[in-house]
Amino acid sequence: MSSLSTESTPRERLDRAISVLGRVRMYWRGVAAMIAVGLSISLALALATKRVWRSEATILYRETIQTGRDPQSSTARAARLGPKLKDTLTARGTLAGVIEAFGLYPEKTARSMVEAVEEMKNHVGFRAQSSDTYVISFTHDDPRVAQQVAARLTQILLDDYRRDSLGTATMTRDFLRRELAEASAKVEEASRALATFLARNPQFQWGLNDSPYAPAPQPLGPPGAPAPAAARAVPARPARPADPQLAALERQLARVEALLGVARSPAAAPGQPLPPSVVEAQRARDAAAAALASAEAALAEKLATVTPIHPDAIVAKRRLEAARSQLAAAESALGLVRAGLTEVPSGEARALTPSRRAALAAERSALLRQIAGLRARGGSGRAAAVGEARGGEPGRALSTGGEARRAPAGPDEGAEERVIELETEWHRLRLDLERAREYLKTVQANERAADLSADAAENKSETELDVLDPAYLPSRPDRGRGRVFFAGAAVTFFFALGVAGARVLLNDTVYDGGDIHALGGPALLAAMPELPASPPLRERAIVPAYSVEPAGAPEYGGEPAGVPEYGGEPAGTPEYGGELTGAPEYGGELTDALEYGGKRSLACVGARHLAYPGSAGFREPEVEILGADVDPEGCGVFELLRSAPAPALAALRVLRHRLDQRRGGEPLAVAVVSPGRAEGKTALAVRLAMTLAEAERARVLLVEGHLARPRVAAILGLRLPPHASFSEQLRRRMAGEARPLGVIAVSPSLSVLAEPSLEASYPAALHSVHFEAALRTLRRYYDYVVLDGPPVLGSGDANVIEDASDGILLVARASLTRASSLTRAAEQLGDRRILGVILNDVTPRPVARKRIEIGS
């Protein structure tokens, strides 16, 4: 069984889909019946339906005053407002009040107000028409009631929203006012605490270098020039030590510490100029500190939105590291300026080895001990000067390194602790005041916005809902009888077409070649179009191939007097196998015709032996011609072929071409079978045999293979003698009688071996071994042996035909044969000898046929 490829072009798939959809027309009666019933039901429902009227009102959400307290946009607020308004509109209390006011749904209200509310919810509509408009609708069987209820629902929604907005704005304003009072009190408390501290410690002041312990700015003039007025306005600070030895030690200590500090600071380059004064260095340090704080804030902001591995976070980290390096460099520069240096020391500063660093540290410790001893002798007043010389940090010499910890405690340690406490308290009080003021500013801004919102809500001038289109009196019903009818009609049409489509998809009847290809079974050899109905052929008697029987002879088919047994050599005739006297060779013009019993007979029809070429003198032939069909008024059996339309002839000749290719010059026995009855296999077998014998291109024998229901002779219009029965000849062979197989010639190249009646004489002869032997004999005398086989399903006769033949043609009738039957028939026969499928009676429009039992 050959299989076809399932690949197809889009055009072929489209044509196939259109072809399948066209089959819906087969069920037009059912579709029409369903449509009629559906339209009747729709009309009845439309007449029984009450008209429903819908009234709508459109409200607008607008925001006229921007207070800035809501970070969301107006579109986002409108989208958030929609569900809230819908819940307010469909609240049970709201709907219950409207039902009582207008007396809606009296029957449900009498039972329960809950049922009436649920019923009203089904008729109340709320939808967002755009970003800032909403539509409220109500449906009722009275248009005026629908308008009044829609207007009432709209007004209730507006009043509730305004009341809620005013209450929310008032509550917010009151809360922020209380919060503002608390913030003001905190500011006053922080200011009072700071003022008390300044009163107790007058050395502290506001402004740059407000701490009395910060280093004083260096004079800009030449040495010995008087200080500027601003510098003189600064409170008196402890004077630098007047002892030359102490001053030299302090300068040496500053140099050592500068060397150590430069080595620790990666941002200080040797030879780099320093700020000209302590003030400039302090400003640079403050700017670096501000840059570091800004970098830290930027990094925190990035990490709040992205991960640490994000490129923006990495860039922010690098900026923070750079700010820290700049701060370290600024602090180092500030220390060098306070030590009296004008540029970063070069030379050995960058070449500090561990041994050199240890030597400097030891030198620094020794200097600290010497300075401490001199201060102890000079008094506690010089301790502050030493601290100022080392960067403005009192007690730094005593708090850095292990050597300072081991220095003898002096009387100025208590003063240093006191300075630290004062500085800490000063900064804490200032920070508290700044925080209180910032919080006060925020609360003031919020309170101002809340006041504006509350005033706008009271004056109905802020965010509010307003009626854009009031509820109208509907002039056309929203759900009338026409809509019900058209909706029902649409549903009916779709349902009917859906049922028809389902029937098409579930139907496995074969309609065209596409269905054969879809099975994936035997290939489609030809598609025979539907033939027009034609009258049956005129019944004709067969002219015997022997001399005229004398008067008083028994009925045709018996043994005439004075003549040997039928089939022997008649008197007065040449030897059997020669040419009879007065008759030309078979196939020429018939002469010496006599009237016998009112029937036209032949004295001689060229009854020659059918033998192999070169064996004309064979005394006992295996096949002989018993008679011939003579139709002087017409074309004989070939009328069936000549009356066929051109497309049918074309299909038959295509099939003949394929069989010629299969035969390849050797005899070929072809059986024509079908899955079931009434599928046109007999008519196809007859026309196929005529097409093969057309123009005497081949010797063809048409054999009756369906002995259970023979139909070949009836279709050809032949009235055969009883002794020409194929089953009877097989039975005589089974009885041991050795006689040639007798055939009937219907043309010079076409012969028939069939049954005289509609019932075979001996149907069981099909299963005998003589049947296969007879077919082998017939193949030696004919180019084609065409067998009209039996149906495949329901019996095993087709399998006998398959074993005795060289090829099987499986006939399927369009619009009648089911795909399942065709598949089962192919499976029963097997793919050993099936040549393909012939689709019979193909129509342009698929129709549903009823199976008939007459004919096959």
Confidence of residue 38 (pLDDT cuts 50, 70, 90): very high
Provide the phi-psi class of 439: left if phi over 0, else alpha when psi is between -120 and 50, else beta. Answer: alpha
| Distances, alpha carbon 284 to alpha carbons 220, 297, 348, 579, in Å | 18, 20, 26, 143
pLDDT at residue 460, rounded to an integer: 59
Q: In the Cβ-directed half-sphere of 776, how many Cα atoms lie within 13 Å?
A: 7
Average model confidence (pLDDT) across the chain: 76
**Is pLDDT of 632 > 60?**
yes
| Distances, alpha carbon 568 to alpha carbons 149, 562, 606, 607, 745, in Å | 114, 12, 15, 12, 19
Instruction: Provide the residue type at 625 as one letter.
Output: I
Between 673 and 64, the higher pLDDT residue: 673
Query: What average pLDDT does the segment 750-779 reach?
Result: 91
Query: What average pLDDT does the segment 451-468 reach?
Result: 69
User: pLDDT tens, 558-577?
Assistant: 333 333 333 333 333 333 33
Interaxial angle between packed helices 769-781 and 797-804, expressed in degrees from 0 to 180 and rounded to the nearest 10: 40
pLDDT at residue 551, rounded to an integer: 37
Range among 53-57, 270-274, 278-282, 846-850 rated most confident:
53-57
**Is pLDDT of 382 > 80?**
no
Strands 750-753 and 464-469: unpaired
Between 607 and 829, the higher pLDDT residue: 829
Confidence of residue 397 (pLDDT cuts 50, 70, 90): very low
Residues, the chain, total?
856
- In 3-state terms the chain splits into helix, strand, coil percentages (rounded to 5) of 50, 15, 35
pTM of the model: 0.50
Between 369 and 797, the higher pLDDT residue: 797
Instruction: Please tell me the distance from the alpha carbon of residue 101 to that of residue 692, in angstroms, as a whole number.
Output: 96
Q: Sheet with 124-128: list strands edge to edge.
A: 124-128, 133-140, 53-62, 464-469
Tell me which residue of 590, 786, 594, 771 sits closest to 688, measured CA to CA: 786
Between 359 and 463, the higher pLDDT residue: 359
Instruction: Please tell me the distance from the alpha carbon of residue 761 to that of residue 724, in angstroms, as a whole number.
Output: 11
User: pLDDT tens, 130-163?
Assistant: 777 899 999 988 899 999 999 999 999 888 887 8
**Is pLDDT of 59 > 60?**
yes
Tell me if 678 sits within 8 A of 770, measured CB to CB.
no
pLDDT at residue 243, rounded to an integer: 65
**Is pLDDT of 189 > 50?**
yes
Classify residue 52 by its DSSP letter. Answer: B
User: pLDDT tens, 580-600?
Assistant: 333 333 333 333 333 333 333
Confidence of residue 840 (pLDDT cuts 50, 70, 90): very high
